[in-house]
């Protein structure tokens, strides 16, 4: 399993609620949209490195109070889907939106990079155990994950990297 701490974990948990895991079929239009976004998103090392740097800054307490407050508000919203949260960042979280953009990402990239990485990591583990991959996992992202495991672990985003906090 991926080991991502702090703010990213909160956002991922909330986003995962919308995706609902590999075994459950999406039931709502929002869940289907989240799954389609994950399937169509293309992981790259520059995107992952930008996210990792932002996450490290945030979890290290270097993000300002306004950014942290908006992040906590997003984390507390358990009803919105991942893509709904992207819209929230764009429209109701000006500090968080600006902070994300200062790190070279769009709000969509900020949400989809860790979410796609996490779902692909889970899928890769399931594949190793003989499980069936969910339809919303792209083969290209699965290959990317397998090829970049060592890099991801160095960033604390792979199966063996990072702290266990």
Does the reported pTM lie above 0.85?
Answer: no
CB-based contacts of 33, cutoff 8 Å, min separation 6: 81, 83
Identify whether the C-beta of residue 136 lies closer than 8 Å to the C-beta of residue 38.
yes
Q: What are phi and psi of 99, to 5 degrees?
A: -60, -45
- For the chain, the domains span 6-20+28-154
CB-based contacts of 148, cutoff 8 Å, min separation 6: 45, 48
> Alpha-carbon distance 146 to 143, whole Å?
5
Model pLDDT, residue 27 = 77
* CA dihedral of 161, 154, 4, 16, whole degrees rounded to 10: -100
For the segment 84-100, what is each residue's pLDDT rounded down to a tens digit?
999 999 999 999 999 99
For the segment 16-48, what is each residue's pLDDT rounded down to a tens digit?
444 434 345 557 899 999 999 999 999 999 999
CA dihedral sign of residues 106, 57, 158, 124? negative
> Alpha-carbon distance 149 to 155, whole Å?
10
Q: How many CB atoms lie within 10 A of CB 57?
A: 16
Model pLDDT, residue 70 = 93
């Amino acid at each position: 399993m991926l080991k991502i701490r702090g703010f990213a974990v909160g956002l991922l948990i909330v986003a995962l609620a919308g995706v609902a895991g590999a075994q459950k079929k999406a039931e709502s239009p929002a869940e289907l949209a989240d799954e389609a976004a994950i399937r169509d998103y293309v992981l790259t090392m520059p995107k992952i490195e930008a996210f990792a740097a932002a996450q490290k800054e945030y979890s290290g307490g270097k993000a300002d109070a306004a950014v942290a407050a908006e992040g906590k508000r997003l984390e507390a919203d358990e009803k919105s889907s991942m893509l709904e949260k992207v819209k929230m960042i764009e429209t109701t979280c000006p500090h968080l939106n600006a902070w994300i953009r200062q790190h070279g990402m769009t709000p969509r990239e900020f949400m989809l990079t860790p979410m796609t990485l996490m779902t692909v990591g889970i899928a890769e583990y399931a594949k190793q155990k003989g499980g069936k991959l969910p339809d919303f996992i792209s083969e290209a992202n699965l290959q990317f994950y397998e090829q970049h495991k060592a890099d991801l672990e160095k960033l604390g985003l792979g199966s063996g990297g990072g702290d266990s906090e």
